[in-house]
Chains A and B, each alone.
Chain A
C-alpha cells in the first residue's frame, strides 16, 4: 500500500500499471493514441542509426580478419624423387614446398622410406607403398632430425624423442610425429597432404603440434576447415 501511495503522489513514472498512452501519462505535447514519446523515438532512431553505421564497417572488417579460419585449402602432390631413391631400412630426408609463393619459408621436410611389412604392422598402413614422416615435432613444431645411430627422431628445441615409427619415447610431445600421404605416379614418388596419428597410429585429419589425440584430445582439438585434407 505504501508503495502505491508513494507512486501516485510523487510521480507515476514507477507506477506498476501505467498506461501505454503518453496522453494518459500526462506527458506534455502528447498526441492522441501515441504510445512512444517523440524524444524517445528520436533517441532510439539515433542509436539504431549509429549501431548500423558502426556495424557496417566493423563487421566486414572483423570477417575479413578472421576469414582464413573458415577457408579450406586445396591439397596438392609434390614429387620428391624416384622409386630407386628410397629403401626399406632407412629414412631419406626430402624437402618440398608446402605453401607456395613464399620461398624457403614455405618448405617443409619429411623422412621417407619404403613400406616395410616387418615393422609397419599397422593395418591402416598396408595400402601405402611409402612411409613419409613429417619433421615437425608434435610438441611445438620445431624440426626433428633422424639420428641414424640412435634410430631415433630427436627434436633440438625441448628434447622430444621418437622411435622408428615416429612414436613418442621421451620428452614433452603429446602424440607421434605426423605423416604424409604418399603415392607412386609412374616411377615418381609423390607426397600429398599431412595427417596426424594418435599413440596407436590411428589416423586423424591433420592437427597442429601440441594437440593430443588420445582420449578426449580429438574433441578438445577439433579438425579445422583450414587444414589440407585428402
Chain B
C-alpha cells in the first residue's frame, strides 16, 4: 500500500504553546544571583530590543580611522567638551542670575562671585571657558584647513562648522553684556554700533538687538534670551549634524601619509 502523504498537524492554539525564549534569556535558566549579575546587560538589552540603538552606537563609535591619526584630531572633541562645560555651568549660573538692568543683574553676579558656595569657581569656569571654546574652535578650524579635510565630500561639514563659529561669536557677544558692569555696557554699545554700520539693514539690526532706538529696559533681557535659549539650542542641533557627517564620511588621513604601495599594481614592475 503506497504511503499517503501526511497532512501537517494543526498548530497548537497560541494559549497552549510554550512562550518563546526572550532574546535576553539566551535559552538559559539561572538563579537570582545570575540575574543580578546580568542586570546591567538586561537593562541594555531591554532598551536595545525596543530602540535598536546599539547599532547606531556601534556605527558612531567603532569606525575605521586612517593610519596616522594623531592628537590634532582631538581638537573637535575638545571644542565639543568646552561647549558642554559652558552649557552645564551656564544652566547653573542661570539659577542665580537676574536680568534686571536697574542694578539687579550686577548685584546678582556680585552675589554669585562673592557669596555663593563655589560661585566664583563656576562663574570662572563659564567666563574663562568661553575663551577656551573660541580658541579651540580656531585650532580645530586650522587643523581642518591645513589637513585639507574640508575638501570633497566634506564641504557641507565645513559650512556647518562656519555656522557654528558664527553662533559661538553670537554667544560671546550676548554673554559679554550679562555681568552688566561698565565694561559689559560699553562693549555692547560699541558692538551694536558696529552692527549698525552695515548699510541699509544695519540700523534696523541695531534696533532689533537693542529692542528699540536706544539701549533700554529690554536690551538686557533680549541678550539674555538669545544667549540662554535661542543660540544654545541651535549650536547643539548643529553639533549633532556635524558629528553625524563626521561619522558618515569618516576622517581624512593626514596630508603627509602616503597611500599603501601595492607592487603588483606598479606599471614599471609589470
Contacts and interface: CB of A to CB of B under 8 A. Distances in A.
Interface of A: 65-66, 68-69, 71, 73, 98-99, 101-106, 140-143, 157, 206-211, 220-222, 224, 226-228
Given A68-B211, A224-B213, A226-B207, A210 B194 contact: yes
Interface stretch (B35-43, B135-143, B149-157, B182-190): B182-190
Contacts of B210: 68
Pick from A143, A157, A226 the residue with the most CB of B within 10 Å. A226
| Size range of the chain B interface in the assembly | 20 to 34
Given A68-B212, A142-B186, A209-B193, A102 B102 contact: yes
Interface of B: 101-103, 180, 185-186, 189-190, 192-194, 196-197, 199-200, 202-204, 206-208, 210-218
B208 A102 contact: no
Main secondary structure on chain A at its contact with chain B? loop
A178 to B, nearest CB: 12
Interface centre among B185, B197, B211, B215 (most CB of A within 10 A): B197
A227 B204 CA distance: 11
A4 to B, nearest CB: 40
A209 B191 CA distance: 11
B180 to A, nearest CB: 8
26 contacts: A65-B208, A68-B208, A73-B214, A99-B214, A99-B215, A99-B216, A101-B217, A102-B101, A102-B216, A105-B101, A106-B216, A141-B193, A157-B190, A206-B213, A208-B192, A208-B193, A210-B196, A211-B196, A211-B197, A220-B200, A222-B200, A222-B203, A224-B204, A226-B207, A226-B212, A227-B213
B186 to A, nearest CB: 6
